[in-house]
């Protein structure tokens, strides 16, 4: 996490950029192999919960954090980015996650993540076949098209309208959706 935190631009630099921040995680190849293996193992034992049934598939697949130790570097990076953007310390933040396992021909519909107390939303790409769909972000009438790449994290404001174009590949694409917010103080 400290390495990711150091890699991030300063809060002032970030605020001067478009509302999309991209970070490539170091050693993503090994991380993605471990994450993909753990994800598949949890599906095999039925450890998941699913939600958001649209166009014949569940867009969100939830697996408990305790069952996926391989997810920790991804969530730590999300907290580090959130801390950098909100002038805090990474341990002041928490990150929730879900998987989006997108089969050939599927897409993700337009939506936002501003339902609760999120400060930052994002996606981490685990397995990305060529032509498996792009992330589209729209804010203030401007669209940004993000081509996914395994090991890449893309962050944006939770109220940013976004969607994913159809997967034209002959394989599934696997990504991790993320929402980060402040830890509750008791």
Alpha-helix residue ranges (DSSP H) falling in 52-108: 72-85
Domains of the chain (ranges; CATH) run 2-43+56-128+154-182 (2.60.120.620)
Q: Is-contact 134 148, C-beta < 8 A?
A: yes
**Rounded mean pLDDT, 172-181:** 96
**Rounded mean pLDDT, 120-148:** 93
pLDDT band, residue 9 (cuts 50/70/90): very low
pLDDT in tens, 29-62: 999 999 999 999 999 999 999 998 988 899 999 9
Q: What's the mean per-residue pLDDT of the chain?
A: 88
pLDDT band, residue 7 (cuts 50/70/90): very low
What's the pLDDT at 185? 62
The secondary structure of residue 92, as a DSSP letter, is G
* Token code pair at residue 121: 């939303």
Whether the model pTM is above 0.95 = no
* pLDDT above 90 as % of the chain: 70
pLDDT in tens, 90-125: 999 999 999 999 999 999 988 888 777 789 999 999
Q: Which residues contact 108 (CB under 8 A, 6 or more apart)?
A: 59, 100, 102, 133, 163, 164
* pLDDT at 132 exceeding the cut of 80: yes
């Amino acid at each position: 996490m400290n390495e990711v935190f150091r890699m991030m631009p300063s809060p002032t630099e970030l605020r001067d950029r478009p509302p999309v921040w991209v970070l490539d995680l170091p050693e993503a190849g090994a991380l993605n192999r471990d994450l993909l293996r753990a994800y598949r193992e949890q599906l095999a034992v039925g450890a998941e919960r699913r939600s958001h049934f649209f166009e014949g598939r569940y867009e969100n697949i939830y697996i408990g954090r305790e069952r996926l130790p391989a997810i920790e570097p991804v969530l730590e990076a999300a907290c580090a980015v959130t801390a950098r953007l909100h002038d805090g310390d990474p341990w002041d933040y928490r990150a929730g996650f879900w998987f989006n396992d997108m089969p050939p021909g599927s897409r993700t519909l337009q939506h936002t993540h501003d339902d609760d107390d999120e400060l930052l939303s994002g996606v981490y790409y685990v397995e990305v076949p060529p032509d498996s769909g792009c992330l589209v972000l729209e804010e203030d009438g401007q669209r940004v098209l993000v081509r996914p790449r395994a090991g890449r994290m893309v962050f944006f404001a939770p109220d940013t309208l976004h969607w994913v174009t159809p997967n034209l590949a002959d394989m599934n694409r696997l990504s991790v959706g993320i929402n980060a917010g402040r830890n509750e103080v008791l």
